[in-house]
Amino acid sequence: MDICAENERKLNESTKVKKRNVAVLLENTGICPFRWMKNLFICIYCDRQFTDPALLRHHNLEHDRQTSAQIKAALPKLKKYELVKVDISDLTCKLCAKEANNFEDLKQHLIDKHNFSGDLKIEDGVLPFKISKNDFPCVICDEKFDEYKTLNHHMNVHYQNFICEQCGTGFITPDRLRTHAFSHETGTFPCEGCDKVFRSMNAKNEHHASVHKKVKRHRCPYCPDMFRNYFQRNKHISNIHGMKLKEFKCSVCPRVFTTSGKLGFHVQTVHLKIKRHACEVCEWKFYSKTELKDHMVRHGGERKFKCSICAKAYARKYTLREHMRIHQNDRRFVCTICGGSFVQKCTLKHHVRVNHPSVKTDEFETLVS
């Protein structure tokens, strides 16, 4: 038997053991199994959908007397190597009503007191969570997340069953590994719906789904409404449901952000001064891909944005808009010292340096900001 066939045999045997142990846990303890899709928590027995995990747990009591056969009949709804997601808020043993302190103690109790197999501790076949509607901590490392989606993705850190050969990152299931593999595909990937070209298949697919198919992937946790992006969803939650959005505060300065990603970008660029994106033509480096893309226009970008008045052409639409203020005499940049007004900010800066040389550096930045 070759190595691949032997590995497949071992995986299949391990999967059988895990499903047997899952059935033991679900039949004999108070843990609550579920599936998750688009911000909905779904009962694995009857497919009822809930936005609040507490309501799912209450509903699960209706299935309290599921037999081992009924439980095993519900498991084929899951994919081959998928672990069963369970909420472990209720750690009660149904056989003797003893309540354990934690999930590991509960499994050990079933082994010691009720003579279940010792592999229940090693291959339990479940992915444990302990969540509420607005609280998503990891039960293994206590790290907290602002939504279930990011917590679910984080669990790959603790269950590295399938490893990426290119970067060594681990994933719970082969499906998650296959999705990750797209991030390593680099080259030229044109969009079939427009003239945009992407450097990765993953970026192209994301663009096509959100821009052309207008797929709404972000569900409101309080109602069935769906949104195309995270920011529309948050605006809806604030405006319609009157809920205060979670804030991410910078530990260095007073700035507050609406997402952890924005906070991370702020810390890297403002406090750590990290410029990760380097130009391949010159020595310049930038904080973001957008800044690098704008810079690359200098190295041979097409000047396709033309002024209809004087015929000057620019590589960027933004630069053309700035230029049009000259024709409109839009002098929005005003010197607070002498009252002089200017079309462009750079002209105001030059004016202050030349005409008000006594202004200190920090005062200068305030004047032209």
Residues 113, 214 share a domain: no
Would you say residue 173 lies in a domain?
no
Residues 113, 51 share a domain: yes
Between CA 47 and CA 42 the distance in angstroms is 6
What is the pLDDT, as a whole number, of residue 99? Answer: 93
What is the pLDDT, as a whole number, of residue 365? Answer: 56
Would you say residue 345 lies in a domain?
yes
User: Who has greater pLDDT, 191 or 76?
Assistant: 191
What is the pLDDT, as a whole number, of residue 89? Answer: 94
Residues 129, 190 share a domain: no
* Contacts of 305-309 spanning 24+ positions with Cβ under 8 A: none
Residues 203, 100 share a domain: no
Would you say residue 58 lies in a domain?
yes
The pLDDT of residue 52 is above 80: yes
- Residue 88: pLDDT band (50, 70, 90) is very high
Would you say residue 195 lies in a domain?
yes
Say if CB 368 and CB 345 are below 8 A apart.
yes
Would you say residue 157 lies in a domain?
no
What is the pLDDT, as a whole number, of residue 95? Answer: 93
Residues 122, 53 share a domain: yes
Which of the given ranges, 39-53, 256-270, 354-368, has the highest pLDDT on average? 39-53
Residues 112, 10 share a domain: yes
Residues 14, 128 share a domain: yes
Which of the given ranges, 129-133, 236-240, 346-350, has the highest pLDDT on average? 129-133
Residues 191, 113 share a domain: no
* Size of the chain, expressed as the number of residues it contains: 369
Which of the given ranges, 34-38, 102-106, 176-180, 302-306, has the highest pLDDT on average? 102-106
Residues 320, 237 share a domain: no
What is the pLDDT, as a whole number, of residue 7? Answer: 62
Residue 246 identity:
K
Q: Which residues have CB under 8 Å from 82's CB, separation 6+?
A: 172, 173, 175
What is the pLDDT, as a whole number, of residue 300? Answer: 66
The overall pTM is greater than 0.85: no
The pLDDT of residue 200 is above 80: no
What is the pLDDT, as a whole number, of residue 34? Answer: 94
**Domain containing 221 — which CATH number?**
3.30.160.60
pLDDT in tens, 298-308: 776 666 778 88
The pLDDT of residue 314 is above 80: no
Residues 89, 19 share a domain: yes
Residues 93, 28 share a domain: yes
The pLDDT of residue 93 is above 90: yes
The mean pLDDT of 59-74, rounded to a whole number, is 85
The mean pLDDT of 343-366, rounded to a whole number, is 74
pLDDT in tens, 201-216: 777 887 888 788 887 7
In whole numbers, what is the pLDDT of the chain averaged over residues?
Answer: 81
Would you say residue 266 lies in a domain?
no
Of 133, 165, 198, at which residue does a domain stop? 133
Structural domain tally of the chain?
3
**Which domain, by its residues, includes 229?**
185-241
Would you say residue 287 lies in a domain?
no
User: Who has greater pLDDT, 281 or 127?
Assistant: 127
Could you give the dihedral angle defined by the CA atoms of residues 342, 343, 347 and 353, in that order, rounded to the nearest 10 degrees? 20
What is the pLDDT, as a whole number, of residue 170? Answer: 81
The pLDDT of residue 115 is above 80: yes
The pLDDT of residue 27 is above 70: yes
User: Who has greater pLDDT, 317 or 157?
Assistant: 157
Residues 209, 98 share a domain: no
What is the pLDDT, as a whole number, of residue 302? Answer: 64
Which of the given ranges, 32-46, 271-285, 298-312, has the highest pLDDT on average? 32-46
The mean pLDDT of 146-168, rounded to a whole number, is 83
What is the pLDDT, as a whole number, of residue 43? Answer: 93
User: Who has greater pLDDT, 35 or 271?
Assistant: 35
Would you say residue 253 lies in a domain?
no
pLDDT in tens, 233-254: 788 888 888 877 767 788 888 8
The mean pLDDT of 116-122, rounded to a whole number, is 83
